[in-house]
């Protein structure tokens, strides 16, 4: 890689993440990679306050006093700008609590009781932000609160036993949509979370994966510089629930974008957005079979034989319907790159 292309990575690599070793997240969990990177992006000279709902990323990183995988700038009292604080809130309220912190800090700054600015980041799983906590998320966006909301999407309520979430791929196996002879897994199409965030009025909406580090870094930096709500959705392969072999996390995250199931998307209010790492021509697009076959949650539909995907006899219709959903998803997101709230 040329020096010019390496420069942004070098700069980011030299920053200090607020996510430290010692978590009990599964090996190969995408959430730990996302935390490392969001953590580095927040080392930008402004104190960070994080709110966290209950989800894998919280229960596996914050079990004081045995597991505490977060912290920065706590060695010296003078490191206010570098420092990082974290609040664990009830499951569905990460963005509401973040909003409260934002308002309180703004009032204290105005009164002179707080001398330096802070930045606020809310962090949840898709269950916490898009299912049980959807009201909290949409109202924070609607109030234009100056916070960054990061939503990890693994398509389940993972830490309570892999129950269905509204982001689940059609016909996937979850513990509440088990495939059988008559019902081939989850029958619902996913909710349009990107569209909802835009329509509620978010200043910046992104769907980015740490598998594409340049886009991920760009999204974090743009979100943290917003004057209203920014939302970053992070599609996150979950080894325990998706049931794939160790070492395939990044490959699956890339395929999630390239197949059109979770394409990389960046859109700032009033500006043209972009759809990346997915072909806009459906004939050129990576077939969804490549994404489905390595995961045992789709084994009632497709298997991997000698490294190649093979559709289970009698399940051609379901596979075609997933492909159709992916194609429509790309068309919808492409339209949204040119859409702005009135
Ligand atoms: C109000 C409330 N309802 C339910 C729960 C139980 N609960 C804790 S975490 C969780 C699922 C979290 O799912 P998600 O946000 O998708 O994160 P993941 O575990 O997948 O990382 C549930 C149902 C709770 N703690 N509080
Ligand atoms: S269950 Fe899934 S989301 Fe939770 S820690 Fe393991 S891999 Fe990560």
Ligand nearest to the CA of 60: 2
Ligand nearest to the CA of 94: 1
Nearest to 218 by CA among 7, 8, 5: 8
Per-residue pLDDT for 8 more than 90?
no
Return the structure tokens found at 199: 């329509």
pLDDT-derived band at 69, boundaries 50, 70, 90: very high
Per-residue pLDDT for 251 more than 90?
yes
**CA 32/CA 63 separation, integer angstroms:** 16
Ligand nearest to the CA of 160: 1
Residue nearest to atom 8 of ligand 1 (CA): 54
Q: What percent of the chain has pLDDT over 90?
A: 89
By mean pLDDT, which of 13-17, 91-95, 278-282, 294-298 is the weakest?
13-17
Q: Which atom of ligand 1 is nearest to the CA of 157?
A: 13
DSSP 158: T
Q: Which atom of ligand 2 is nearest to the CA of 154?
A: 3
For ligand 1, the distance from its centroid to the CA atom of residue 282, given in whole angstroms, is 36
- In 3-state terms, the chain is what percent helix, strand and coil (to 5)? 35, 20, 45
| Mean pLDDT value of segment 51-61 | 96
pLDDT-derived band at 101, boundaries 50, 70, 90: very high
Angle at 214 between CA 295 and CA 119, to 5 degrees: 100
For ligand 1, the distance from its centroid to the CA atom of residue 270, given in whole angstroms, is 35
| Mean pLDDT value of segment 315-321 | 97
Residue 303 belongs to what H/E stretch?
Answer: strand 302-305
Q: Give yes or no for a contact between 82 and 43, defined as CB atoms under 8 angstroms apart.
A: yes
pLDDT at 1: 64
pLDDT at 55: 96
Structural domains in the chain, CATH included, are 13-336 (3.40.50.970)
Q: Which atom of ligand 2 is nearest to the CA of 242?
A: 2
Per-residue pLDDT for 64 more than 90?
no
Q: What are phi and psi of 286, to 5 degrees?
A: -60, 125
- The count of other CB atoms within 10 Å of the CB of residue 297 is 24
Residue whose CB lies within 8 A of the most ligand 2 atoms, among 59, 125, 153, 241, for a mutation test: 241
Nearest to 67 by CA among 35, 21, 18, 28: 21
pLDDT-derived band at 3, boundaries 50, 70, 90: confident
- 237 CB-near residues (< 8 Å, 6+ apart): 28, 30, 154, 244, 248, 249, 252, 253, 256
Residues with CB under 6 A from ligand 1: 54-57, 90-92, 124-128, 132, 154, 156-160, 165
Name residue 303's beta-bridge partners: 310
pLDDT-derived band at 84, boundaries 50, 70, 90: very high
For ligand 2, the distance from its centroid to the CA atom of residue 248, given in whole angstroms, is 14
| Mean pLDDT value of segment 311-334 | 97
Ligand nearest to the CA of 126: 1
pLDDT at 78: 80
- 181 CB-near residues (< 8 Å, 6+ apart): none
Per-residue pLDDT for 40 more than 80?
yes
**Which runs of consecutive H residues, i.e. helices, occur in 68-189?**
94-111, 126, 134-142
pLDDT-derived band at 75, boundaries 50, 70, 90: confident
| Mean pLDDT value of segment 237-257 | 98
Token pair 């609160």: residue:
145
**CA 36/CA 19 separation, integer angstroms:** 5
- pLDDT per residue over 139-197, tens digit each? 999 999 999 999 999 999 999 999 999 999 999 999 999 999 899 999 999 999 999 99
Residue whose CB lies within 8 A of the most ligand 1 atoms, among 25, 62, 125, 162, for a mutation test: 125
Residues with CB under 6 A from ligand 2: 25-26, 29, 31, 56, 60, 154, 158-159, 238-241
- pLDDT per residue over 211-246, tens digit each? 999 999 999 999 999 999 999 999 999 999 999 999
pLDDT at 178: 97
Token pair 């909802």: residue:
196
Angle at 23 between CA 22 and CA 29, to 5 degrees: 130
Write out the DSSP string of 19-83: B-S---PPTT-HHHHHHHHHHHHT-SSSEEEEEE-SSHHHHTTEETTTEE-B--S-SSTT-TTT-
- The count of other CB atoms within 10 Å of the CB of residue 247 is 10
Q: Which atom of ligand 2 is nearest to the CA of 152?
A: 3
**Average pLDDT of the chain to the nearest whole number:** 95
For ligand 2, the distance from its centroid to the CA atom of residue 241, given in whole angstroms, is 7
Q: Give yes or no for a contact between 186 and 251, defined as CB atoms under 8 angstroms apart.
A: no
Residue nearest to atom 5 of ligand 2 (CA): 25
- pLDDT per residue over 120-130, tens digit each? 999 999 999 99
């Amino acid at each position: 890689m040329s020096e010019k292309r390496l420069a942004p990575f070098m700069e980011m690599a030299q920053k200090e993440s607020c996510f430290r070793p010692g978590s009990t997240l599964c090996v190969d969990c995408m959430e730990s990679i996302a935390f490392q990177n969001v953590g580095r992006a927040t080392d930008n000279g402004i104190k960070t306050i994080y709110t966290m709902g209950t989800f894998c990323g919280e229960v596996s990183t914050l079990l004081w006093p045995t597991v505490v995988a977060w912290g920065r700038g706590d060695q010296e009292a003078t490191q206010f700008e570098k420092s990082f604080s974290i609040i664990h809130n009830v499951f569905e309220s990460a963005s509401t609590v973040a909003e409260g912190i934002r308002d309180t800090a703004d009032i204290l700054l105005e009164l002179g009781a707080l001398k330096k600015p802070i930045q606020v980041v809310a962090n949840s799983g898709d269950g916490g932000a898009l299912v049980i906590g959807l009201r909290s998320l949409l109202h924070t966006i609607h109030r234009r609160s100056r916070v960054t909301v990061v939503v990890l999407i693994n398509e389940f309520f993972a830490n309570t036993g892999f129950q269905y979430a509204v982001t689940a791929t059609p016909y996937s196996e979850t513990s509440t949509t088990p495939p059988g002879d008559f019902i081939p897994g989850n029958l619902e199409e996913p909710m349009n979370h990107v569209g909802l965030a835009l329509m509620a009025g978010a200043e910046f909406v992104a769907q980015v994966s740490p598998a594409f580090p340049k886009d991920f870094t760009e999204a974090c930096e743009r979100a943290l510089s917003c004057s209203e709500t920014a939302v970053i959705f992070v599609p996150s392969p979950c080894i325990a629930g998706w049931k794939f072999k160790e070492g395939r996390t990044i490959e699956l995250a890339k395929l999630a974008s390239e197949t059109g199931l979770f394409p990389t998307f960046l859109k700032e209010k009033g500006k043209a957005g972009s759809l990346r790492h997915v072909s806009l021509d459906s004939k050129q697009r990576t077939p969804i079979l490549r994404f489905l076959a390595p995961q045992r949650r789709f084994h009632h539909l497709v298997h991997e034989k000698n490294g190649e995907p093979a559709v289970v006899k009698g399940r051609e219709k379901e596979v075609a319907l997933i492909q159709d959903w992916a194609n429509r998803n790309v068309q919808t997101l492409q339209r949204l790159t040119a859409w702005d709230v009135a």
